[in-house]
Structure 1
Amino acid sequence: MKKVLLIAFYFNQTNEIASKRLRGLAKYLSQFGWEPIVVVPKLDNTPSYQYSNLDFKSIETDYEDMLDKWINKFKRSSNNKQTNNNSPNNKDPNPLISKAASLVGEIFAYPDGMKYWYEPAMELSKEVIEINNIEAIISSSWPVTSHIIAKDLKKEYNLKWIADLRDLWNLNPYVKHTFIRNHFEKKLEIETFRYADVLTTTTELSTETLQKLHPNKQICTVMSGYDIEDITENNIPKNNEKLNFTYAGSLYGGKRDPNLLFKGIKQLIDEGKIFSSLISLDFYGDNEGLENLAKEYNIEEIVNIHGSIPHKEVLEKQKETQALLLLSWNNKNEKMFLPGKIYEYLAAKRPVLSIGYKEGSLKDLIEKTNIGYHVSTLEQTKEALMKFYNSFIENNPLKYTGNQKVNNYSIISTAQKFGKILDSI
């Protein structure tokens, strides 16, 4: 069987969506003619992921994080200065110093804070290539250091190379740098990917965006997916007395905003269209501002804040709920993205209420698979809530309506597409 080197910084982290994509790829790629050998960093406080009876090897390298190193030095320096200077005028950091530190970070964290992984990863990758007769490389970002490693390996060994961009590099709307850094970063991306055979992204909109910077490159969309081993058919909600919606994850400082949901429910209760005794909202994960927001809308009796629980339990809670709640940022930058949570929801086989930007990749997926509703306005939210509520009253428990297109989003399909691309290079 042909062998491929997978350079993956995120792999062992259990709860990271990035890790799930890459672990799934490694797990199933051998079914399509390519045996992966995975090179990953040994990270403090991150246990090696436990595998059994899987057709790939995972090899760990040494690792030193650049940001941790310099931040710790800066903290020690600041603490020493505070200890030696008792002047009350030095209690608050100087804004000029903070700005200078930010500019220094722009320089020393170029191209990213994981750049010290380059040397140990290169050393180990060369050994793996020479011992195992590797024919191809797949590198995945973030971090982009993975691609720098792959580029230099490509130049030295002339291997097939797929550069997988889970998030875009320079064209990522959420990454902001200084003008100078943007200039050099763009040049670095163009120079790096000049050696890649194929670039891959996770959505069609990301592919269209990336093609503008690399017009002559072959760019393929390879979506992530759920692991079929996580699926339990005919999941039945535990609570048949209430229409409960479950949300598990971060609210990202309020960017994932439940205001529309809370306001819609409050208005429907006041209008006498739904009974508060028949509906509940369960939140797992961070609870930033949730309690105060529930009080603001006077619906705290239906909002249950559970805090963080192990990810394995999260998966079970998602299968046991009447409906799943997905909150994403109502911002046009979200158009090209698909939150990794949607793949867990596809595996959970429960109806979904998604609240976010009016159009884009997420809305398209939900409508194609018919797993629920994606809304972006108050009136749309109320309309979707009424559809769920009436269906619950008539058909308790709530019925799952996903169609056969759900099957297109398995991680096996992801691995198959990578296998086909490798064969075609």
Structure 2
Amino acid sequence: MKAKAKKILILSYYWPPSGGSGVQRWMYFAKYLKAFGWEPYILTVDETTASYPVLDKSLLSEVNDIPTIRTKTREPLRWYSRLSPGLSNGGIPQGAVSTKTLFGKFTAFIRGNFFIPDARKGWRSFALRAAQKLIAEEGIDRVVTTGPPHSTHWVGAHLQNKYGLKWLVDMRDPWVNIFYNKQLNRTSWAIKMDERQENKILQQADIVITTLAGEFHQYLKSKAPDQQYYAIPNGYDSDLFDSVASESHTKFHLVFTGLLTYNQEYHGVLKVLEQLQHKGSICLSFAGQIQAEIVDEFKSKLQSIQVVDHGYIAHHEAVKLMKSADILLNFIFSGAQKDMISGKILEYIATKKPILSIGDPDSEAGKFVMQGSEAEMIESFNTEEIKQFITRAMINKGQLINNFPNIENWSREALSRRLEDLLLEF
């Protein structure tokens, strides 16, 4: 008898050509599930109507053989962006909320109290219709919803109710307790409504996965104690890393990639670099979504250091930049120490370059990072330890290797195997 096809529907608002670590998570899961014999189907948004903060068209080549259905959406976010200064691309800056002006406070209030659970909820009706049609045509019996945006999970709940299929919820980031919600001036009514929606999803899903366990799982269990929670972090793609050559920089090279906002404690590193800028030839490279004012601040205070802002670059170019580093910098979001781990951490670790991460060393992320032989998580105020770490790396430029135990267990392929095991439990 022919084995039943292992079909799975993945609903992800963010999908190539959108860029960022949130895209890469399920892009690689889908890639490897297909290699394992599954038939993944992707339901996402048409990029011409989506509110994608950044684009990376190079990622399309990773998923060009995976069936992808793109739908229209209604984006209240676009109305918000027209009201908000500096948001002409139709997106809200990730990881930051501007509340420095009266107008900024007003638009933050609108966002926090009228876009519940989030400003992408206009996609739900389009996604539901497309999902129902696909399930009827293909006989799919497993569905995944990944958030943010957490409004996507509403579609999974409706599909489970109608078809009795198995439903996995992926919470890449926290929902109600995401750190920037504190800046949105939310009313108690809005918070309670958001909590009711979160509780319902947590209680109804068959399985919930996150990128981090620890206190975050304890919080989730307080909402739905009978639920099953599993942590599968973002990994590194060994195929990609093997294909990118490692080229050392002529200067002592510090590299930051990703998202950098005022919600991250970077001032300790900046203070130390001010002190060290005359101690040698130094280059500081930024790549990703970096607030322009922060780059200007570094350039203003580090006159003797070459500060380069590459902007958002293709993923393989970001890996190439990481591999050229003498130190890789990471800044944990303030208020997110216990709930989140940066999507790029495993890629940093895979380079075997020294890692200086700024945050709580006793957090889950801190304990994970410091398994590396040349990796530290240091509080921003502890400038003496930061200085010692950077100085040692400068003295030993090109010689320090950050070995991490059982790094192969954190490859995208290995993590996809862990995901497959959960899916087969259904």
TM-score, normalised relative to structure 2: 0.82
- Any conservation in 1 of the 2:157–2:205 contact (CA below 8 Å)? yes
Pairing 1:97-112 to 2, within 5 Å after superposition: 105-106=111-112, 108-112=114-118
Q: Deviations over 1:172-214 (max 9, x none)?
A: 3432432001112212222233321111111012222211211
Give the drift of 1:216: 1.3
Give the drift of 1:353: 1.8
Pair 1:378 & 2:396 matched: no
Q: 1:223 corresponds to which residue?
A: 233
CA pair 306-342 structure 1, distance change in 2 beyond 3 A: same
User: Which of 303, 325, 338 does residue 300 from structure 1 map onto?
Assistant: 303
Q: Which one has the largest radius of gyration?
A: 1
- Any conservation in 1 of the 2:284–2:307 contact (CA below 8 Å)? yes
Give the drift of 1:424: 1.0
User: Which of 319, 330, 352 does residue 326 from structure 1 map onto?
Assistant: 330
User: Which of 45, 55, 77 does residue 41 from structure 1 map onto?
Assistant: 45
Q: Give the distance between the partners of 1:256 and 1:183, measured in 2 at CA.
A: 28
User: Which of 113, 117, 120 does residue 119 from structure 2 map onto?
Assistant: 113
Q: 1:313 corresponds to which residue?
A: 317
- Any conservation in 2 of the 1:369–1:405 contact (CA below 8 Å)? no
- Any conservation in 1 of the 2:254–2:284 contact (CA below 8 Å)? yes
Pair 1:246 & 2:247 matched: no
Pair 1:64 & 2:70 matched: no
- Any conservation in 1 of the 2:17–2:47 contact (CA below 8 Å)? no
Give the drift of 1:405: 2.4
Q: Give the distance between the partners of 1:102 and 1:317, measured in 2 at CA.
A: 35
Q: Give the distance between the partners of 1:161 and 1:213, measured in 2 at CA.
A: 18
Q: 1:129 corresponds to which residue?
A: 135
- Any conservation in 1 of the 2:248–2:323 contact (CA below 8 Å)? no
Pair 1:26 & 2:30 matched: yes
Pair 1:413 & 2:414 matched: yes
Q: Give the distance between the partners of 1:372 and 1:105, measured in 2 at CA.
A: 38
User: Which of 384, 389, 394 does residue 389 from structure 1 map onto?
Assistant: 394
User: Which of 154, 176, 193 does residue 148 from structure 1 map onto?
Assistant: 154
CA pair 363-123 structure 1, distance change in 2 beyond 3 A: same
Q: Match of 1:168, as an amino acid?
A: P
Pair 1:288 & 2:293 matched: yes
The alignment's C-alpha RMSD in Å is 2.9
Give the drift of 1:294: 5.3
Q: Give the distance between the partners of 1:291 and 1:99, measured in 2 at CA.
A: 24
Q: Give the distance between the partners of 1:355 and 1:52, measured in 2 at CA.
A: 32
Q: Match of 1:389, as an amino acid?
A: M
- Any conservation in 2 of the 1:112–1:144 contact (CA below 8 Å)? yes
Gaps of 5+ in 2: 85-100
Give the drift of 1:55: 5.7
Q: 2:165 corresponds to which residue?
A: 159
Q: Deviations over 1:105-132 (max 9, x none)?
A: 5554223211221111111111111111
Pair 1:181 & 2:210 matched: no
Q: Which has the higher contact order (CA 8 A, sep 6+)?
A: 1
Give the drift of 1:322: 2.4
Q: Give the distance between the partners of 1:17 and 1:113, measured in 2 at CA.
A: 20
Q: Give the distance between the partners of 2:294 and 2:113, measured in 1 at CA.
A: 35
Q: Give the distance between the partners of 1:355 and 1:384, measured in 2 at CA.
A: 12
Identity of aligned residues (%): 22
Pairing 1:350-369 to 2, within 5 Å after superposition: 350-369=353-372
Q: Give the distance between the partners of 2:108 and 2:298, measured in 1 at CA.
A: 34
More helix by share: 1
Gaps of 5+ in 1: 76-93, 270-274
Q: 1:82 corresponds to which residue?
A: none
Give the drift of 1:102: 6.0
Q: 1:264 corresponds to which residue?
A: 272
CA pair 388-183 structure 1, distance change in 2 beyond 3 A: same
TM-score, normalised relative to structure 1: 0.82
- Any conservation in 2 of the 1:34–1:419 contact (CA below 8 Å)? no
**Paired residue total:** 391
